[in-house]
Amino acid sequence: MDLFKAIYSRRSIRRYSEKKVDNSMVDKILHAAMYAPSAVNKQPWHFIVFEDVDLRKAIMKFHKSAGMLVEAQKCILVCYDENLQHDAGYGIIDCSTATQNILLAAHASGLGACWVGICPRQERAAAFHELFRLPENIKPFALVSLGFPAETKKTPDRVRPERIHIGKW
């Protein structure tokens, strides 16, 4: 898929078919994630891939916006290591770029994906930290659900020329 087509047509997909997602597809997506830019190239990210139904149900109990996990075939928990980030706060930015690469790579691979927010909600981060038994220095940032789409969404017009400023406000 053409890069610009992928960027323009990517949507948050929350309905998935029962078709299984091959691990090789997930590996390719994770490789794309690790090619994201990061501050001073520190690459502080870690990824936990899971498909366990009980784990997904546990998440849905404390994360009210995670209903799409019912049908997801795979999930990727994106985390960062506080000890590896360039400086305080950069792990969040670095994981944002990695998460965007995950979303675009999934879409370009024919998968649907949805960014399930964790950061900056401390109560969500604490629940993920406990559920996944993360070391103290590992901070959960976002969860991405994956699966073959069972819904299609149109590409809206998001271009807002009035928000483009040249040279000054």
**Average pLDDT in the 17-45 region?**
97
Residue 74 in any domain: the answer is: yes
Residue 90 in any domain: the answer is: yes
Phi, psi for residue 113 in degrees, rounded to 5: -150, 155
Structure confidence by residue, pLDDT tens digits, 108-155: 999 999 999 999 999 999 999 999 999 999 999 999 999 999 999 999
Domain count, the chain: 1
Residue 22 DSSP code: P
Residue 133 DSSP code: T
Residue 33 in any domain: the answer is: yes
Contact present, 10 and 16 (Cβ < 8 Å): no
Residue 166 in any domain: the answer is: no
Rounded CA gap, 123 and 145, in Å?
Answer: 20
On the question of pLDDT at 1 being above 90, the answer is no
Structure confidence by residue, pLDDT tens digits, 57-102: 999 999 999 999 999 999 999 999 999 999 999 999 999 999 999 9
On the question of pLDDT at 104 being above 90, the answer is yes
Residue 94 in any domain: the answer is: yes
Q: Which domain holds residue 62?
A: 3-151
Residue 28 in any domain: the answer is: yes
pTM of the model: 0.96
Residue 158 in any domain: the answer is: no
pLDDT (0 to 100) of residue 135: 98
Residue 116 in any domain: the answer is: yes
On the question of pLDDT at 22 being above 90, the answer is yes
For 32, 76, 102, the CA distances from 113, given in Å and listed in that order, are 14, 10, 8
**CATH classification of the domain holding 29:** 3.40.109.10
Contact present, 131 and 58 (Cβ < 8 Å): yes
